[in-house]
Chain A
Amino acid sequence: MAKLQTFVTGNGDERRTLIVVFLRGGADGLNLVAPLDDDGYYKARPRIGIGRKDAVPLNGFFGLNPLMKDLEPAWKEGLMSVIHQAGSEDTTRSHFEAQDLMEHGGVVAGGWLGRFLRFRNGAPAGALSAVALGRELPECLRGAPSATVIQSLDEFSLGGNSAKLQRQLAGLYGLETGPLSGAARDTLAALERIETLRATPYLPSNGAEYARDEFSQGLRQIARLIKSKVGLESASLDLGGWDSHLNQGAIMDPRILNLAQGLAAFTKDMGGDMATTSVVVMTEFGRRVVENSAFGTDHGRASVMFVLGGGVKGGTVHSKWSGLKEELLEGPGDLPVVHNYRNVLAPVLQRHGAGADLSKIFPDFTVEPMAIYG
């Protein structure tokens, strides 16, 4: 007999939620996490570099952009891991090519998150297992057993007559003797939770306050869905506009602020639930090390990734820094990729799907999971 699935994650359910934040446009890793003790950095970025004193100190050598100060508590609590010199093997420096490769997880069919959800071990994915905030399904979710693009929770409603209709559906499915009857019971319970959710104003926990921007509001919706236990296993959302060819500050600063404030509010709101939640922040590539004449930076190679969540080896910046000396840079002067993004994703996926077959998720790459968990 077919294994029944549960949509509804009640007490004792161990379903974990993975949130993927994609910074589209190629976010400058050196302007998010700067190598404060590398003279090469200041030589390359005399006008746009982050001052030693302004940065939020991380481990001494590296510091966060001052606009990310809201993330300092998460860092100090050991909830955040920073992976520097992260990126893909793609050398085209083309937004499209690099995003495509990164979201598919190689030259391979389907998205890495879609394949994970379809082929991870355990109970089959529920109807609300994967949600993307926004207007389009991100490529990383391609091939998922269920993938819902939503802009608001209202889209889950069964319409005006839902109470009467649900009662009659409960009756008819109750007469079933096969697996459909259990599936219907789970579905009705999930609907009930969603109705409750819609009817109740959301009050974030621990005094967390989400900013008004779309990114923060997206994270707020995700927090709500996680707490209502409808079986959310993954959520994806984009934060775009990082293509800072000129006037880097004007382009990046508001986004850096959105990113840090959103993640900080979410972490605070989730509180103890962060133990079963992970947030991965990634981008298709970093930028040229040397600033250009227009106070901007051009397409480069490695950038930075963040992993927030329970269990990470907090307070660590993973990198193999050899300095920003010209002869150590790649191509036209780019930070070489030391940590392939798959090796960062791998341990996170192992945490979210014990025993997940990584060779099925990243079939064209021999994965060496990084030790990001303590």
Chain B
Amino acid sequence: MSLTRRHFLQAGGASALLASVGCDRFPDALKSLLPPDRVSLDGPFRPPTSAEIDAVSHALNRLTFGARPGDYERVRALDADADKAAALFLDQQLAPEKIDDAFAAHSVRRLETLVEPLGELFEYKEKVLLDELIRATLLRAINSERQLYEVMVQFWSDHFNIDPSKGDAKWLKVADDRDVIRTHALGKFPDLLNASAFSPAMLWYLDGRVNRRSKDSEKPNENYGRELLELHTLGVHGGYSQKDVMEAARCLTGWTVRATERSRFDIGKVEFEPRQHDKGRKTLLGHEFPAWPEGLSADEQQQRGRDEVVRLLQLAADHPATAQHIATKLCRRFIADEPPKSAVDSVAAAFLKTGGDIRSTLRSLFATAEFRETRGGKFKRPFHFIVSALRATGAETDAGQPVVDFLLRMGHAPFHYPTPDGYPEEASPWLGTLLWRWNFAVALAEGRVGGTKIKADKLRNAFGGDAGLIAHLLGRKPSEAETSAYHDSGSGLALMLAAPSYQRC
């Protein structure tokens, strides 16, 4: 078990030291040597008291992977008015760099592949890389204080989905996760798009690396060009033509990745090979890309190759259909499976106005009446369900294979979705997962999930008993039916986690 600061303080030597310096003046230098505290189960915690989900519970439901013990009380204390408290919480979450996240960092500190430079990743076995990436994703979702950031990391991981089982992406996805998704998750969309386009994992996954036209008879590989327009930017009904797809593919010819099969050094490096680039005139989304002049120097060719892609990406990112497409997906994630058009339009307008600034776009989304008013109606995807149950119970978990196995059974393990559209957000494809949700609820409550422990009695006591615990789990006071089911089930905690209301957020 991990040594918390409290345990350390209880140890004899430390208490003698503290007697002399006092807790408040605990030297910072010494403090940094101690592992940071995990969420405390020491109540008493004040559970939600209203019969409907209030603004604070709603914010915790949608902006986070679920409320931990004490979260409701902490957010509620930000302001006497629940709406204002929720707004202040949103402000905090939109500035993750100001939130101390020592415990989450501590929980992934041994996953050394996360910080390896690109080239070094090839020193590891593929299974180690995938296992560590999945564990890190789970541990951060469970432990991070920067919850909205982690929610957006998942959103963009789906949007720019890469299944690392293809080719060298087995090694390269770790870098994509770190340098593309996590770096830009709350940044500017055009920067995110740009990073993704030049990501070696993406060049592998969508065949960009073999998109070349060194002679007229060679046909460019359209895979990435198509998904760029259909999935990453304009959307399938975004008004581009099949000709635009072909022209985008031509713009992208010549970009490739050094592969394990061909090279022993600089593997994974992204390169532009001018000889494999289609240098003819192109017309894309109504804009002209002139043919390359003869006699460019090697450096000029490199620059021009990059400029052509950057211009293509900018045209796509700035297109009004892209704003509409991203806004629709964000509203589907945060508001409802069938997002109201009014909300989508105002979010799209914010996206366009700010040049794809993700924080401003989210701020406008959370300000819509549609967001405020649709409470408790989203069906949690399996990952959200598992993480919310672990958070709600204050579980200590290593997020190891037993947890991942549950996600595999429900078809929602991170980095396992084969096609570029990413895991679906709507409820319907996930309705078949109840069996494993119930199974997980029971296993968690009974302490049968390997590598995961909960303290059920302590948790209940922290909320002053059963009624408080149920309100904590549901984010509101339970109905009569829920209360009596809880008591008659023989396993109240398992029942509540398996209950229909807990599958929603």
Query: Chain A residues in contact with chain B, CB under 8 A?
Result: 2-5, 7, 104, 107-111, 114-115, 118-119, 124-128, 137, 139, 142-149, 156, 158-162, 164-165, 167-169, 171-173, 175-176, 179-180, 183-184, 187, 190-191, 360
Contact = CB atoms under 8 A, between A and B. Distances in A.
Contacts of A128: 435
A-B pairs with the 5 shortest C-beta distances?
Answer: A110-B418, A109-B163, A2-B428, A161-B490, A143-B418
Contacts of B162: 109
Nearest to A148: B409
B165 interface: yes
A57 B486 CA distance: 65
A139 B166 CA distance: 11
Nearest to B479: A175
B231 to A, nearest CB: 14
B419 A109 contact: yes
B408 to A, nearest CB: 5
A159 B498 CA distance: 13
B498 A169 contact: yes
Contact of A146 (B432, B443, B488): B432
B411 interface: yes
Contacts of B163: 109-110, 142-143
Contacts of B446: 159-160
B442 interface: yes
B432 A172 contact: no
A167 B485 CA distance: 9
B279 to A, nearest CB: 28
Interface footprint category on B? 35 or more
A119 B500 CA distance: 28
A104 B165 contact: yes
A190 B500 CA distance: 18
B434 A124 contact: no
Given A172-B481, A180-B503, 7 more contacts: A7-B435, A124-B432, A143-B417, A146-B436, A158-B442, A165-B498, A172-B499
A294 B147 CA distance: 61
B409 A165 contact: no
B434 A168 contact: no
A333 B384 CA distance: 54
Q: Is chain B's binding surface mostly helix, strand, loop or mixed?
A: helix
B427 interface: yes
B485 A168 contact: yes
A166 to B, nearest CB: 9
Contacts of B428: 2-3, 124, 179
Q: Name, among A107, A126, A159, A191, the residue most crowded by chain B CB atoms within 10 Å (CB to CB).
A: A159
Given A109-B166, A168-B489, A145 B435 contact: no
A104 B418 CA distance: 10
B419 A2 contact: no
Given A164-B490, A165-B491, A171-B481, A179 B427 contact: yes
A127 B409 contact: yes
A160 B418 CA distance: 37
B38 interface: no
Contact of B166 (A107, A149, A158, A167): A107
Nearest to B416: A143
Given A2-B431, A4-B431, A127-B433, A176 B500 contact: yes
Given A158-B438, A191-B435, A142 B498 contact: no
Contacts of A142: 163, 165, 416, 418
B169 A109 contact: yes
Interface in B423-451: 426-429, 431-436, 438-439, 442-443, 446, 448
Interface string B478-500: 00011001101111001100111
Contacts of A148: 408-409
6 contacts: A142-B163, A146-B433, A158-B438, A161-B494, A175-B481, A183-B434
Contacts of A161: 489-491, 494
A127 B411 CA distance: 9
Contacts of B419: 109-110, 115, 119, 360
Contacts of B438: 158, 169, 187
B432 A184 contact: no
B205 A109 contact: yes
Nearest to A231: B432
A115 B421 CA distance: 13
B410 interface: yes
A190 B165 CA distance: 33
A43 B411 CA distance: 51
A63 B120 CA distance: 51
B405 interface: yes
Contact of A183 (B432, B485, B488, B495): B432
A108 B166 contact: yes
B500 A172 contact: yes
B408 A137 contact: yes
Contacts of B426: 2
Contacts of B439: 156, 158
Contacts of A165: 442, 489-491, 494-495, 498
Given A124-B429, A180-B503, A190 B405 contact: no
Given A104-B166, A147-B408, A159 B432 contact: no
Interface in B156-202: 162-167, 169
Contacts of B164: 109
A127 B165 contact: no
A145 B410 CA distance: 7
Contacts of A162: 442
B412 to A, nearest CB: 9
A145 B432 contact: yes
A107 B167 contact: yes
Contacts of A169: 438, 485, 489, 495, 498-499
Nearest to A183: B431
Given A5-B432, A139-B165, A115 B498 contact: no
Nearest to B382: A146
Contacts of B169: 109
Nearest to B206: A109
Contacts of B379: 180
B411 to A, nearest CB: 4
A118 B424 CA distance: 12
Contacts of A108: 166, 418
A167 B438 CA distance: 13
B482 A172 contact: yes
A107 B426 CA distance: 29
Nearest to A165: B489
A37 B135 CA distance: 56
Q: Name, among A156, A172, A191, the residue most crowded by chain B CB atoms within 10 Å (CB to CB).
A: A172
B299 to A, nearest CB: 33
A194 to B, nearest CB: 9
A169 B435 CA distance: 11
